[in-house]
Amino acid sequence: MTTLTQQQCIPCHGGETAISQAEIDAFQPQIPDWCQYEVKGEQRIERLYQFKDFKTALAFTNAIGELAEAESHHPALLTEWGKVTVTWWTHTVGGLHMNDLIMAAKTEEIFKQFK
Ligand SMILES: C[C@H](O)[C@H](O)[C@H]1CNC2=NC(N)=NC(=O)C2=N1
């Protein structure tokens, strides 16, 4: 089993396929606080992070934005007072790709710097 944080995202240009539920289940212990759900038939993973104020939530949002640009894989981010909801899925596969699991694990690493 490879460590998600040590992997890099691959560019998705279309033609890639979604990962299987068995693969998601195998990696889930590395991202235990993320929940998987479906929107219009597409799988996504999501986690809510909590912060002491809006400014810190915004700084975390920007740090995740920097990560997204560095890896060319981009989340949905909802920033509120004291909260950021991070959602990962892959538009080009219409569901979950390894990129999403990698990015969830890397999001966890960044959150450790905000604790
Ligand atoms: C070439 C580049 O990697 C692709 O356009 C990326 C950009 N960021 C992306 N982010 C997400 N979440 N899904 C994608 O399919 C996607 N495609």
Q: What is the pLDDT of residues 57-79, one digit of tens each?
A: 999 999 999 999 999 999 999 99
The parts of the chain modelled with pLDDT lower than 50 are none
Whose Cα sits closest to atom 3 in ligand 1?
Answer: 11
Q: Tell me, what's the pLDDT at 95?
A: 97
ipTM of predicted assembly, 2 dp = 0.95
Q: Report the separation in Å between the CA atom of 90 and the middle of ligand 1, taken as the mean of its atom positions.
A: 7
Whole-angstrom distance, CA of residue 102 vs CA of residue 105? 5
Give the containing element (helix H, strand E) for 50.
strand 42-50
Instruction: Tell me if 51 sits within 8 A of 81, measured CB to CB.
Output: no
Q: Tell me, what's the pLDDT at 109?
A: 98
Q: Is 90 in the pocket of ligand 1 (CB under 6 A)?
A: yes
**Burial annotation 24-52 (CB, 10 A radius, 16+ → b, else e):** beebeebbeebebeeeeeebbbbbebebe
Q: Which domains does the chain have, with CATH numbers?
A: 18-112 (3.30.1360.20)
Decide: pTM greater than 0.95. Answer: yes
